Amino acid sequence: MITRAAALGTAVLGAVAILAGCSSDDEPPKSITIELAPTDQVASATTDIPVADRCTADELSLNLGRTDGSAGSVTMPLVFTNTGDRTCILSGFPGVSYVTAENGTEVGAAATRSGSPSGPVTLAPGGRATASVRAVQVLNYPDYQCGPTPVAGLHVYPPDDSAALFVAYPGTGCALPNVDQLQVTAVAPM
């Protein structure tokens, strides 16, 4: 699927190549205008899973798996377990934000998506799926850029759900929205 951003990037690179080949040392570069045709192919943030088949926060539990630290960040597996009495489907990226308390205020920018979406994961009762969250060490940022704020954990929204689950992960988040402090992968089978 070609997105508008990809089409624009291709058009801009082509225009730069044309201009680079046509310029001489005696003439200043000329500007050109590129008109792009509209496209109906825009990447969707939602899945094609029927609403009735999706796993919702009220039928899932959430735990953190074993964390793995590296230079400047920590990776945490989120483990979703189907605690309901029906088979349900998770597909896509969960929403993840730092939060001041289980029912507290979300802190800073929500997690950005990392990697490609995976296919649907069907969870029978008791079944599990995972997604990984990478949290940068926000104390590496200057205070004026981050706005360090104590956090109690994470609000995690199952894909296509507006209700959040809470998982404790006390630490510090950036209250200012310009810091890319969390990244999340798509849900995958365990």
What is the pLDDT, as a whole number, of residue 47? 53
Q: Which part of the chain is CATH 2.60.40?
A: 51-189
What is the pLDDT, as a whole number, of residue 134? 98
Q: Is the pTM for the entire model greater than 0.85?
A: no
The token duo for 33 is: 């205008």
The Cα angle at residue 54 between residues 184 and 92, in degrees rounded to 5: 25
Average pLDDT of the segment spanning 158-165 = 96
Mean pLDDT in the chain? 82
Number of alpha carbons in the 13 Å side-chain half-sphere of residue 50: 3
pLDDT band at 176 (very low <50, low <70, confident <90, very high): very high
Q: Does the domain made of 51-189 have the CATH classification 2.60.40? A: yes
More confident position, 71 or 8: 71
* pLDDT of 54 over the 70 cut: yes
